[in-house]
Structure 1
Amino acid sequence: MGERIDFKALAAKLSSSSGIAAKADIGSVAASLGLAGQPVAVGDDCAALPDGDGYLLFAIEGFINEFVAADPWFAGWCGVMVNISDVAAMGGRPVAVVDAVWANGEAGAAPVLEGMRAAARAFGVPIVGGHTNIRTDRGQLSVAILGKAKKLLTSFDAQAGDVLIAAIDHRGRYREPFNNWEAATDAPPARLRGDLEILPDIAEAGLALAAKDISQGGIIGTAIMLAECSGVGIDIDVRAIPLPDGVAIERWLATFPSFGYLISTAPEKADAVIRHFASRKISAAVIGTVKAGNAVAITDGADRIVIRDYAETPLLQLSRQEDAA
């Protein structure tokens, strides 16, 4: 990263990020539902349900009204895509999705449904049903997915001594005005489907135990969630983060990529993990270290600033139940 940055200003911006702060809603809702003490861990990209010698993966995504109104076709596409990403993040393969759509008439629903249909075709994942209400004045969308995994990558298994890898497809552009980095809608379907095999292959080869899909909280927010679920600290070197051409680090750290993951793995396995992504022409690099502690911090080689200490300011307030006990 050759550009000069105001490191303290960057840290201040990240510390006050609305994308990160919004993740606190997950913990408060989980508490209201009384999810503590159940056998299925809450706080991961998907719920992992034991099934024979593997796991069923179950997840759902909802979209803010402003996004659905501003870009309904892409909202429909994302309804399928981000769920597939959550399944892949856990080392799984998608099986099928269902949707819930609210719209003002058939004309209001059409672009959302067209976007979903296009993504389902591109990724080869069928839409098998859902819920429809096209007699409302507000467009809304939620999509759920079922997947399967042979071996899991989780948010709960990052370990002190690991390195943190960021893997993001740079072959895209921003879908303005949001911080969505879009590298999928014009990609060849065969490439998209092949890229989805990377995380399951890593899991099944035993190259990592922990991973997380980079979400609306960006690289830093996702690292905080991974750290808190695993009960570790993470230091991220902003100089080590690869950037797409013309994109500033300040925006990149707040970006929600269409294909982006954090992987925590042992140092001796990092090169093999990176090669899996490089073989698909996806940027991957070690960007930090996992350590004992409760803080996620950024460093520029000279200074280190804590973005969040989750022991002092919890975010998700979720962990594997046996750990919490």
Structure 2
Amino acid sequence: MVHKLATLLLTLQNGRALAAKQSIAEAAAILKPASHDVIRLGDDCAAIPDGDGYLLLASEGFQDNFVRSMPWFAGYCGVMVNVSDIAAMGGRPVAVVDALWSDTSEAASSILTGLREGAGTYGVPVVGGHTNMRSTHNSLSVAILGRARHLLTSFDAQPGEVLIAAIDLRGRWHDPQPFWDASSALCGTEGAARLRGDIELLPSIAEDGLSRAAKDISMAGLLGTALMLAECSGVGMTIALDNIPRPDDAPMERWLSAFPSYGYLLTARAEDAEAILARFRGRDIAASVIGQCDSTLRLDVTWGDEKEIFWDLAQTPLMGFAP
């Protein structure tokens, strides 16, 4: 009899989200960066040394089926997901630019309205881009510039540290996409100030030296994101599913496949964990210690009294960015 945990993990291992992350290695092999010492690959943003801090540069692209079916939300997400990447690096957003292709001006108008309203909600200006309203398809790419004084990276998780998950559970499913949306309902309201304050937690944690490693929970889901963090840092992890903040009515498989609008993984020394948790909880964001870093290069998962190996990085790389 196949146990419940093994079945769950097998479904996640064979999902499209992790397959997409494995494709990153192919792109990196072609581009062949000149120096890994200056810009390390595998992080949420490129961190470019600049004076007493870092410029942060990132981008996101959205496929035709998503942009066509949910044009306003696609535009909004163009800002939302990029701001999340900047925060995951301990930074604050400076500006965004977009590249838009649409088959009609009406479609473009809806996409750009979402982009504008997302920019207003998160307080980051749209400063330019590329527009084509006579295309054969609808697609969107948005790039962001940010700045950090002290970095949170994917490369600095250490064996012995705890793994913390912080997720805003005050949201809803944005069907048919796997989005847990705790953001767009606040667009254009005084709740926008709350969103900006929530984002500010990440750079403040970095600047106060409470954590050095973090990632935002991406389309790879919580376990996939943890796996990327473990690979880049050259560590293993054990994660307890029972400890993950989760809405009461969210099935475990769906939740582990979700992309939350506000969701972060951070590692920290055990003595600093409570201070980090208190900052998130003080803003009504669910946060808990969900695991431990070790030196095994495996991602092990427990659920109830079951324990299984989700991924062994020593046997199967993910993105190929191990130290």
TM-score (norm 1): 0.95
Shift of 1:267: 0.8
**Paired residue for 2:282, among 279, 304, 308?**
279
Tell me the distance in 1 between the aligned counterparts of 2:19 and 2:279: 33
Shift of 1:110: 1.1
1:63-102 alignment runs, 5 A limit = 63-102=62-101
State the secondary structure of the residue aligned to 1:288: strand
Deviates more, 1:301-310 or 1:192-201: 301-310
State the secondary structure of the residue aligned to 2:153: coil
RMSD value over aligned CA atoms? 1.2
Q: Determine the structure 2 residue equivalent to 1:297.
A: 300
Write out the 4+ residue segments of structure 1 that deviate beyond 6 Å after TM superposition: none
State the secondary structure of the residue aligned to 2:23: helix
Q: Determine the structure 2 residue equivalent to 1:161.
A: 160
Give the aligned residue type for 1:256.
F
Shift of 1:66: 1.5
Deviates more, 1:307-316 or 1:41-50: 307-316
Give the aligned residue type for 1:94.
P
Give the aligned residue type for 1:305.
E
Tell me the distance in 1 between the aligned counterparts of 2:161 and 2:301: 16
The CA deviation string for residues 98-117 of structure 1, in whole angstroms up to 9 with x for no partner, is: 00000012112111101000
State the secondary structure of the residue aligned to 1:170: coil
State the secondary structure of the residue aligned to 2:136: strand
Give the aligned residue type for 2:112.
L
Q: Determine the structure 2 residue equivalent to 1:30.
A: 28
Shift of 1:36: 5.9
Shift of 1:75: 0.6
- Residues 297 and 36 of structure 1: is their aligned pair in 2 closer, same or farther, counting only changes over 3 Å? farther
**Paired residue for 1:18, among 16, 19, 31?**
16
Shift of 1:126: 0.1
Alpha-carbon contact 2:5-2:307 (below 8 Å) kept: no
State the secondary structure of the residue aligned to 1:171: coil
Q: Determine the structure 2 residue equivalent to 1:57.
A: 56
1:128-139 alignment runs, 5 A limit = 128-139=127-138
Q: Determine the structure 2 residue equivalent to 1:193.
A: 196
Give the aligned residue type for 1:150.
R
1:234-249 alignment runs, 5 A limit = 234-249=237-252
The CA deviation string for residues 169-198 of structure 1, in whole angstroms up to 9 with x for no partner, is: 000001001110000012211101111110
Q: Determine the structure 1 residue equivalent to 2:42.
A: 43
Alpha-carbon contact 2:44-2:89 (below 8 Å) kept: yes
Tell me the distance in 2 between the aligned counterparts of 1:60 and 1:303: 39
Give the aligned residue type for 2:85.
D
State the secondary structure of the residue aligned to 1:152: coil
**Paired residue for 2:224, among 221, 224, 241?**
221
Whether 1:212 aligns to 2:210 is: no
The CA deviation string for residues 194-233 of structure 1, in whole angstroms up to 9 with x for no partner, is: 1111000100010000000100001000001000000000
Tell me the distance in 1 between the aligned counterparts of 2:80 and 2:285: 17
Tell me the distance in 1 between the aligned counterparts of 2:20 and 2:206: 29
Unaligned runs of 5+ in 2: none
The CA deviation string for residues 270-315 of structure 1, in whole angstroms up to 9 with x for no partner, is: 1111111111110110111110021112112522211111221111
State the secondary structure of the residue aligned to 2:79: helix
Tell me the distance in 2 between the aligned counterparts of 1:300 and 1:17: 20
Tell me the distance in 1 between the aligned counterparts of 2:212 and 2:166: 15
Give the aligned residue type for 1:17.
G
Identity of aligned residues (%): 53
Tell me the distance in 1 between the aligned counterparts of 2:116 and 2:314: 43
Q: Determine the structure 2 residue equivalent to 1:148.
A: 147
Give the aligned residue type for 1:25.
S
Tell me the distance in 1 between the aligned counterparts of 2:154 and 2:82: 16
1:118-129 alignment runs, 5 A limit = 118-129=117-128
Alpha-carbon contact 2:165-2:288 (below 8 Å) kept: yes
The CA deviation string for residues 123-177 of structure 1, in whole angstroms up to 9 with x for no partner, is: 1100000011111120000000000000000000000001111101000001001
Tell me the distance in 1 between the aligned counterparts of 2:64 and 2:273: 39
Q: Determine the structure 2 residue equivalent to 1:233.
A: 236
State the secondary structure of the residue aligned to 1:186: helix
Give the aligned residue type for 2:203.
P
Q: Determine the structure 1 residue equivalent to 2:177.
A: 178
Give the aligned residue type for 2:319.
L
Deviates more, 1:239-248 or 1:166-175: 239-248
